[in-house]
Each structure stands twice: as structure tokens, then as C-alpha cells.
Amino acid sequence: MALQQNIQVEADIGKAFDNALMSLAGGYYGSRDRCDYDSRTAVTSSVVDTLRTSLRTAGYANAGDGGEAVYRRVSSEPVHPGKVQSADGAWWEIGSNELNVLQFGAIADGASDCYDAFQDALAACRSCNKKRLLIPAGTYRCTRPGLFNTGGSTNGFSFVGAGMGATVIRFINGNAATQAENNYLYTNVNTDLRINFVGIRFEGDSVAKNSRFGRIASSGTAQSIRFWDVMWYEFEGITTCEGGATSSEMLYVGCKASNIYGVAFRIDNIQSVNHNHHGCDYEVCLDDVFYISKGGMLNVFGGSIIIGGNGVTTGAVIHLADTSGVGIGFNNWTYNFYGVRTELKDHSQFLNGEGQGHVNLIGCNTEVITGSEPNRAVYLLYHGLMMAANMTRLNGRAHLQADNSTAFANRNRPATLIATDCLLGSRFSVTRDNVSNAGGRGKAILERCKPFSLPSGISEPQDQCLGWNEGSNAFAVPKRIATIKNHVRAGGLPLPGQVLQLKLPIGAVVTGVRLYHPSENGPDDQVYVLGNSDGSVVHSTWLFDISTAQTLQTTGYWQCDSDTNRTLHFTGGARNSNESYTGYCEVEYIA
């Protein structure tokens, strides 16, 4: 047994010696179709058998550093950086199926500048017709702009990280102040189509606060720039789209942003179409989230937006500049938000509508959180639309204001808000203006909407308010109706001492209650009561002659803000009889 063990140990030592010798001697003792080297550096000092056609390295500078690659013998020096020359003068071109930045000398330690390695990798991808560049897990530091510039017209290319929690690009440019508008990690001026960024976290300079991510300038070429599972942190701005024609199909899926100091998404094209955000979370944006100066189409599906948080923010979720809606893009200015949750902090707004545009809020919930000063949640000069939205606020109010500047005298629609099926945080107010064009005063068209009652301590707005039922406020009764009826015995109205119960959704607002009963023989002066489940609040009390057909209605607002208040109890009945009379109670509400 001991002899066998000694033989095995000697065999292992011999194999290890052969492998080391093969690496140092250029694979002379190895297989003729492939030989292994510890690193790309080791190849430069090795003589390789002239019959060999390929070789494999275990790293770039050192074995195991992630830069392992396959190289193939070529007859002349390649024109790109993906190459190595062995000591015998032979040239070898990188031949891996997929290229990654570690194969070109990038070091993911968060301290080493990786700019040159990224540029070399991109050059090799272009020359070898590779359609994607891998960025393995780790933190890559970059000190110069243009890290992701493709260097020419590129149709279809992807930068693929290991996930926003694994691959980090840290952009710290000490010369950013002198480079101003050029301080972008990615610049695309009429060159690139269908460029994808996947699974990467981008970090900017948290001290200088001047890092920017992307500038897409186009006169018709730069299109389809897409982001999946990407995060931006500590940036002055994320993407800027500009140019004389279009920058179409900007797509963001499952992306995140936090601590954005300037405008997050700037759309300055004349007709910038199809900017789509799906399930993205943008938090702590300290300026406008979407700034639109001309036209285009924006769709935001799901996700959340939090604007403000530093105590002084005055930006808006969407800002339509006073130049929007004019020129080529005049008929292309629709901005849709579907099921987006937003929080407005400090002095921020949801919509700053200086220019023309259709803004649609569909199934969105907006919470306005302010300090002691009133919050202008909506500032409009032209047109806005809110559908099935739920706008609430704490110590603030939704506000619609028309501008009194004569500079806008030629605009045809001052301050028009259309809100459908909405619960409104307070009255929308429209100040008197001096615009001398058609329409004059601003208008608020509120269809099937009801306001919350103002909490104690919060006064009504002091400026001119349009009442809910006057002038241009086209008001209709909500459609949601619930019926309370006795199903135990024929009739429908409760028996003496009987409690009929109805539960409404939490957060619902009761806007009216009606009691119906036909003519019926019975005692006079019957009393019926509708209140909450513990009897602490009575919404309606009816006293009527049961022998006469009647419909009795009670108005007023009742907030179902707790389980007790959303549980309605309908009680009463004949005083001297155990009879159930025909009828029912109908509750009108918005939820």
C-alpha cells in the first residue's frame, strides 16, 4: 500500500512539472491543437511551436484574474487591441466567442482606471464583429467621459453586466468642470442604433455632483437605446435627447435611480417619440424627473417616483417647458402615466405645464408631503388629464393655476384640467388671470369626481376657487352603488333591533345615501339609521310615513378611513311591530 501511494505522489509531481514546463516553453511538450498559459503576459515571453494554431490563457496579467481567453494564430498583426505576440514573433488574435473587459486589462477593484481597457475591448468588438461586451462582477473606476462610446456607426450592440447589484461603473471625472456638456459616459451623435445596457449600476461623483450618463443627439439616426436592470446613483442627469429630428424608442425596463441632482430625463428633440419606462423606481430626484422642451411621446408603466427630500426641491415629475408643443412636434405631445406611485416632497410638483401637451394619469396614486407651506401639486397653463387617479396630500393641496403673463396671450387654452373618476385632495383652484385670448379664465372640468373633506387645521385656499357645481365644472354623479337589504325576511328594511351590515373598501368616500320604500300599510313615523359599526358616527337618520311611497336622500361626505368607518350598519324598523317593510338603502361612493 505504501509503495502504491509513493508511486501516485511521484506521478502527480511529474504531471505538475510537465504542465509548468509546457507553460514556460510555449507548449512545446503539449498538444498541437491547444496549449495553456498562465496569462497573456506569459505568452509574450514564450516560443510557440510553429505547428500550433491556437492557445488558451488562464488570465490577462495573472492566472485567475478573469481575463482568460482563447487566441488563434494569424498571419499578420491584427488591427485592434485583441492580440498578443509571442517571443518567436508570431501574432495571435483573440478568438473567444464572447469578449469581456477583463481580457483587455480592466481591474475591477474600484481604484484602477479602466477607461483604456474598455476602449480596447470596444475596438476589438468592432473589428471582430462581436455584438456584445461582457462586464463581469466588480467595481470599475472611470476618470474620463465617453467610456461607452462605440467609436463609429454601430447597429446592434449590448453592454452586459452581471446585474445592478454586482457590476458597478464608478464615474469620477476630475476635469468635469472644464468639459461641461461633454461630461457623459455615453455620447451618441447620429451614430448608434439599437444599443443595450443590461445589469449595471452606474455611480457618479457624490462630491462634485456633476456626473452625467448619456447624450443622444440626432437628426434622424440615433434610435433604440435601451436599458434593462440598470441603476444610476449620484448623477447630475441620466439621459439627454436632443437634435433636429427624432430620437425614438428610448426604453427603460426594471431600472432604478437615486440621488439625481439635476434633470433626470431631458427630452429636447423636436419630435422625440416612444420614450417608455416599465416598472422603474426613480427615488430622491432633486429636480425635474422628465423635462420636455418640444414634443414627443412618453409612457410610464408602473413603478414609483419620489421627487424632493432635500428641503428645497422645486422640480416636477413632468415639466413641459414654454416651448413645448410648437414646431414639427406640435401634434405629437402626449405623456401617459399608468399605475405609477408618486411622492411629492418639499416644494415639488407633479406637473409643471408651462407649454402645451396632454398629460394623462391613469390609475395613479400621488402622495404630496410638504412642510408648512402649501404645495402646488399641479401647475398648468394649458391642458392636463387625470383619469381614475387617487391624489392625496399631507399639509398640501392640489393646485391649478393660470399664468397672468401677457407673454402667453396668443396661446389658446389657459389652465384647463380634466379630471375623471378622481378623489381630489382638496379643491382645485384657478387664479384670475389677465390673458386676453379666447377662454380668458382657466377652467377645471371635473367629471365624476369628489373631494375629500379638508382635515382640521387646513384652511380652504384663499385664491379664487371654482365650486364643484358651478361654471365650467361639469359634474356628474359617481357610478358606484351598493345596496343594503334584508335578505332574511321578505321586505328588505331591517326588523326592529336588527342590524344590516355593508363593508366598503378601505379609503372609499361615501358621497350620498338614499332610502327607498313603496306605499305600504303600516304604522306611521318609522325611524331608520345608517352609521358606522360602533355607533360613534351617524351618517343618516330617517323618519317617515311608511304608508306613503317615499325616497329620502342624505348628502355629505363620509371617509371610510378605518375598519370601523368602512363597516356601515343599517338599523331601525317598526316601533310596535315585528314586520319587515319593503325597501332598501342605497349607498353611493367612490373608491
- Which pLDDT does position 584 carry in this prediction? 83
- Which pLDDT does position 114 carry in this prediction? 97
CA distance 207 to 148: 23
CA distance 383 to 31: 75
- Which pLDDT does position 498 carry in this prediction? 84
Percent helix, percent strand, percent coil in the chain, to nearest 5: 10, 40, 45
181 and 302 belong to one structural domain:
no
Q: Find the domain containing 285 and state its range.
A: 262-476
User: What is the mean pLDDT of the segment spanning 262-270?
Assistant: 86
Which of 159-163, 447-451, 502-506 ranks highest by mean pLDDT? Answer: 159-163
- Cβ–Cβ under 8 Å, residues 245 and 218: yes
Contacts of 252 (CB under 8 A, 6+ apart): 226, 227, 230, 276, 277, 278, 280
CA distance 554 to 511: 9
Lowest mean pLDDT among 30-44, 394-408, 518-532: 394-408
Residue 445 scores a pLDDT above 70: no
Residue 273 included in any domain: yes
293 and 223 belong to one structural domain:
no
- Cβ–Cβ under 8 Å, residues 228 and 257: no
Residue 7 scores a pLDDT above 80: no
219 and 304 belong to one structural domain:
no
Place of cell 416599465: 278
User: What is the mean pLDDT of the segment spanning 400-414?
Assistant: 43
* C-beta neighbour count of 113 within 10 angstroms: 15
CA distance 55 to 279: 45
User: What is the mean pLDDT of the segment spanning 383-409?
Assistant: 53
| Among candidate residues 429, 340, 351, the one with its CA nearest the CA of residue 388 | 340
Q: Which residues of 233-252 are buried (b: 16+ CB within 10 A; e: fewer)?
A: bbbbbbbbbbbebbbbebbb
Q: Give the percent of the chain with pLDDT over 90.
A: 36
Q: Is the dihedral of CA 487, 492, 497, 501 positive or negative?
A: positive
Residues in the chain, total = 591
Residue 202 φ then ψ, to 5° = -105, 130
**Domain end marker among 243, 260, 277:** 260
> Would you place residue 80 in the very low, low, confident or very high pLDDT band (cuts 50, 70, 90)?
very high
Query: Pairing mode, if any, of strands 378-380 and 296-301?
Result: unpaired
State the SS3 of 304-346: EEEECCCCCCCCEEEEECCCCCCHHHHHCEEEEEECCEEEECC
- Which pLDDT does position 122 carry in this prediction? 96
| Coil vs helix vs strand at 136 | coil
- Cβ–Cβ under 8 Å, residues 101 and 82: no
> Would you place residue 314 in the very low, low, confident or very high pLDDT band (cuts 50, 70, 90)?
confident
Residue 251 included in any domain: yes
Residue 31 included in any domain: yes
* C-beta neighbour count of 478 within 10 angstroms: 17
Which of 103-107, 265-269, 483-487 ranks highest by mean pLDDT? Answer: 103-107
> Would you place residue 536 in the very low, low, confident or very high pLDDT band (cuts 50, 70, 90)?
confident
Task: Write the pLDDT tens digit of every residue in 334-360.
Answer: 888 998 988 888 878 888 877 777 788
Task: Write the pLDDT tens digit of every residue in 199-215.
Answer: 999 999 999 888 999 99
What CA–CA distances, in Å, run from 413 to 318, 383, 498? 19, 7, 56
Residue 272 scores a pLDDT above 70: no
286 and 417 belong to one structural domain:
yes
How many domains in the chain? Answer: 4
Q: What residues are paired with 423 via a beta bridge?
A: 390, 450
CATH code where residue 540 lies: 2.60.120.340
User: What is the mean pLDDT of the segment spanning 170-184?
Assistant: 73
CA distance 31 to 309: 64
109 and 224 belong to one structural domain:
yes
Residue 408 scores a pLDDT above 90: no
106 and 78 belong to one structural domain:
no
442 and 300 belong to one structural domain:
yes
Mean per-residue pLDDT of the chain = 76
CA distance 114 to 118: 6
CA distance 420 to 16: 78
What CA–CA distances, in Å, run from 237 to 209, 255, 314? 10, 15, 16
The helix or strand, by DSSP H or E, that contains position 183, with its residue range, turns out to be none
403 and 513 belong to one structural domain:
no
CA distance 121 to 133: 8
- Cβ–Cβ under 8 Å, residues 323 and 299: no
**Domain end marker among 219, 241, 260:** 260
- Which pLDDT does position 286 carry in this prediction? 93
544 and 568 belong to one structural domain:
yes
Residue 13 included in any domain: no
Residue 390 scores a pLDDT above 70: no
CA distance 118 to 232: 19
- Which pLDDT does position 24 carry in this prediction? 41
CATH code where residue 171 lies: 2.160.20.10
Task: Write the pLDDT tens digit of every residue in 19-75.
Answer: 444 444 344 334 334 458 999 999 999 999 999 999 999 999 999 999 999 999 999
For residue 102, what is its C-alpha cell? 477583463
Lowest mean pLDDT among 258-267, 324-333, 458-467: 458-467
Task: Write the pLDDT tens digit of every residue in 487-524.
Answer: 765 678 887 788 899 999 887 778 778 888 776 665 55
What type of residue is 499? V
- Cβ–Cβ under 8 Å, residues 494 and 569: no
N-to-C CA span, the chain: 83
426 and 509 belong to one structural domain:
no
Residue 108 included in any domain: yes
193 and 214 belong to one structural domain:
yes
Query: Pairing mode, if any, of strands 237-242 and 192-203?
Result: unpaired
DSSP assignment of 425-456, as one string?
SS--B-------STT-S-EEEEES-EEPPPPT
Lowest mean pLDDT among 180-194, 407-421, 522-536: 407-421
CA distance 483 to 568: 11
Residue 511 included in any domain: yes
Residue 1 included in any domain: no
**Domain end marker among 443, 476, 509:** 476
- Which pLDDT does position 63 carry in this prediction? 93
Residue 437 included in any domain: yes
* C-beta neighbour count of 530 within 10 angstroms: 25
User: What is the mean pLDDT of the segment spanning 462-472?
Assistant: 33
367 and 516 belong to one structural domain:
no
Place of cell 370601523: 564
- Which pLDDT does position 545 carry in this prediction? 65
Residue 571 φ then ψ, to 5° = -130, 170
State the SS3 of 366-377: EEEECCCCCCEC
State the SS3 of 23-48: HHCCCCCCCCCCCEECCHHHHHCCCC
Looking at the whole model, is its pTM more than 0.85?
A: no
User: What is the mean pLDDT of the segment spanning 105-111?
Assistant: 97
